[in-house]
Structure 1
Amino acid sequence: FCVLGTEFFKERDFDNFGTFARTFYTLWVAMAFGIWENNLPYLDPVDQSINYLVLFYMMFFVVFMLWICLQVVLAILLENFVTAQQDEQARAAKNKLDKKSR
């Protein structure tokens, strides 16, 4: 996403998309929802008109990151929790059998 933003929008909005680092920072702040109140990157800096290509890019990025990547992270955490719970149940069952055999 950073490379695409830099390549497509560096001439239009150098402050937000001029370099890879600036684009990364812009996207990072957008994910934290801190960029929306004072410096909207989809507004044209000259006449404050809406640049719909940047708007679509930012919306797609936020939706992708929140809905898809967040779900993947939650699925991994849930799988680890279930595995740990099954291991604990197996360990408890083994301890119970060991106590009975003594």
Structure 2
Amino acid sequence: MAWVVLVVSGVLEAVWAAALDASRGFSRLWPSTLFLVALAASMAGLAYAMRSIPIGTGYAIWVGIGAVVTALYGMVVQNEPATAARLLCLALIVAGVVGLKFLH
């Protein structure tokens, strides 16, 4: 269960990052509200998962998931460049996250 919560929390990290961008410096109510809710849920999930997953593994996986999902969001939704080099770097992050999971 902790691993599922950790993955969901990592995705919520991407949600709060996107909402932070959309809030335009907290000047828009609904994106700012989404940011706060997603941030709180993401942190609560990370805290729950770290009850049974070591901090180094849990935090690295949480950040990795958040970084990859946020970068993909930027490429798909905000038309950021999706170059081969960027995609390769994201694949390396995914490989690291998967490796940490299997080495746990």
| Higher-Rg member (1/2) | 1
Instruction: Report 1 or 2 for greater relative contact order, CA contacts < 8 Å, sequence distance ≥ 6.
Output: 2
More helix by share: 2
Question: Is TM more than 0.5 here?
Answer: no
